[in-house]
Homo-oligomer: A and B are copies of this chain.
Amino acid sequence: MSAEVIHGGTITSPQGFIAGATYAGIKSKGDNLLDLGILCSEVPCIAAGVFTTNKIRAAPVLLCQRNLKGSQAQAIVVNSGCANACTGQQGMAGAEQMTALTARNLGLLPEEVLVASTGVIGKQLPMQKIRDGIESIVLSPEGGHTLAKAIITTDTLPKEIAVKVNLGQNEGEIIIGGIAKGAGMIHPDMATLLCFLTTDAAVSPAFLKKALQRAVDASFNMITVDGDTSPNDSAIILANGLAANKVLKEGSSRAKEFEEALTEVCLFLAKSIARDGEGATKLIQITVEGALTIAQARSGARIVAGSPLVKSAVHGSDPNWGRIIAALGRSGVDMEETKVDLYLDSLCLMKEGRPLPFDQARARSILDRAGVPIRICLNLGDASATAWGCDLSEEYVTINSEYTT
């Protein structure tokens, strides 16, 4: 039994979730841009989060970590256009006000509200605009689409999905929804991303925490756009239990199905982020097989996916495969040159460390695809892993050389 994607699904597809967003004026460029939104559940939720590994943590991250200690929450308020990072005590006061204002409007306690911000670092939040904005947000069961738009910055498209899972006899169906933003500062160990997930499943707090961490490890921690991470990276899940299934706990087959579906949701969102990397035109998929350990396979795949030289070559559809091997060579992964095979899709470019003559036109046609699969077989062990990245284009530089101005 696997998860079924809901056509037009989003974060408010699971029962009992409502959302909405507004343009508060935090983003300075253009107008009619959404930049402030709220997600709310009708009932209290079990909640879990995974946050940035950056030593600089934004005020909203610190506040979420505090509010999540009891593994409960009922709403999330989020803004784009200002990261509220490197903002000192004033920044923390701003984050606290965001949760307090949201809580008051929704009839909740401030500690039941989580908060996230994304945008420019080192700028204080425009609190008056945020106050007015929060007042004006209208929540609805269709509001997930609007919220997905409100959290993006340099993304070209909102990222949203929902899936349903039939847990079998007497248990019925549960739904998992999610939205995410990414584009730049994207790297393993929590990229510059915000990801919000909801489910109407009843889930134990301990299992939810573990399942989220594992789903994030297999998805958001396997994508890279530029090797940078941010002080704001957050993935948060709210589970409101309205599906009334028997509470899912670690170890059961139903919990496994739930986790598989959650991972599928995260993978969809993660790949959407990589594909929509700043200036990207292609999704690059790097699989490392035959590594000695999973950790090595993961690390190798991520380093190749992050290599600026590999990314540039893929951008120009240049079959300059030596760069792939050179990037793997600096990854620290155990390898023996005379055992390594390299494939571009099914086209073998290197066999046991020796370059093969290959059809340049065919190589180019694979590199011209919207999705470019690269596979490296180390032939040393049984471990494998896949990472996703994007090509590096002139547009990436243009976007990032004019970001704050």
- Given known A-B contacts A55-B330, A328-B56, A121 and B394 have beta carbons under 8 A apart: no
Which chain B residues lie closer than 8 Å to A346 at the CB level?
none
Instruction: Tell me, rounded to whole Å, the shortest Cβ–Cβ distance linking A265 to chain B.
Output: 26
Contact at A321–B403, with CB atoms within 8 Å? no
| A207 at interface, CB cutoff 8 A | no
Contact at B404–A320, with CB atoms within 8 Å? yes
| A382 at interface, CB cutoff 8 A | no
| A244 at interface, CB cutoff 8 A | no
| A12 at interface, CB cutoff 8 A | no
Given contacts A55-B332, A184-B309, 20 further A-B contacts (CB under 8 A): A55-B334, A56-B337, A86-B353, A86-B355, A88-B355, A120-B320, A121-B323, A122-B321, A124-B355, A228-B307, A228-B309, A228-B323, A228-B327, A231-B325, A313-B400, A315-B397, A316-B400, A318-B401, A318-B402, A320-B403
Query: A-side binding surface: helix, strand, loop or mixed?
Result: loop
CB<8 Å pairs between A and B, sample of 18: A54-B329, A55-B329, A55-B333, A85-B326, A87-B354, A88-B355, A121-B321, A121-B326, A122-B350, A185-B309, A187-B330, A189-B330, A228-B323, A229-B326, A316-B400, A316-B402, A318-B403, A394-B398
| A312 at interface, CB cutoff 8 A | yes
Chain A: residues with Cβ within 8 Å of the partner, total of 70
Contact at A350–B86, with CB atoms within 8 Å? yes
Most buried by B among A231, A308, A353, A394: A308
Contact at A308–B226, with CB atoms within 8 Å? yes
| A373 at interface, CB cutoff 8 A | no
- Chain A residues engaging chain B, CB cutoff 8 angstroms: 53-57, 83, 85-88, 90, 120-124, 184-185, 187, 189, 226-231, 306-309, 312-313, 315-316, 318-323, 325-330, 332-335, 337-338, 349-350, 353-355, 392-394, 396-405
How many copies of this kind of chain does the complex include?
2
Instruction: Tell me, rounded to whole Å, the shortest Cβ–Cβ distance linking A384 to chain B.
Output: 18
In angstroms, Cα B350 to Cα A322, docked, is 42
Contact at B400–A397, with CB atoms within 8 Å? no
Most buried by B among A53, A123, A405: A405
Which chain B residues lie closer than 8 Å to A353 at the CB level?
86, 88
Contact at A312–B396, with CB atoms within 8 Å? yes
Q: Considering only CB atoms, which chain B residue lies closest to A230 in the complex?
A: B326
Instruction: Tell me, rounded to whole Å, the shortest Cβ–Cβ distance linking A188 to chain B.
Output: 10
Contact at B313–A403, with CB atoms within 8 Å? yes
Contact at B228–A400, with CB atoms within 8 Å? no
Which chain B residues lie closer than 8 Å to A230 at the CB level?
326
Which chain B residues lie closer than 8 Å to A54 at the CB level?
326, 329-330
In angstroms, Cα B230 to Cα A398, docked, is 27
Instruction: Tell me, rounded to whole Å, the shortest Cβ–Cβ distance linking A74 to chain B.
Output: 30
Contact at A322–B397, with CB atoms within 8 Å? no
Instruction: Tell me, rounded to whole Å, the shortest Cβ–Cβ distance linking A308 to chain B.
Output: 4
- Given known A-B contacts A122-B350, A353-B88, A227 and B228 have beta carbons under 8 A apart: no
Contact at A56–B228, with CB atoms within 8 Å? no
Which chain B residues lie closer than 8 Å to A349 at the CB level?
122
Contact at B405–A322, with CB atoms within 8 Å? no
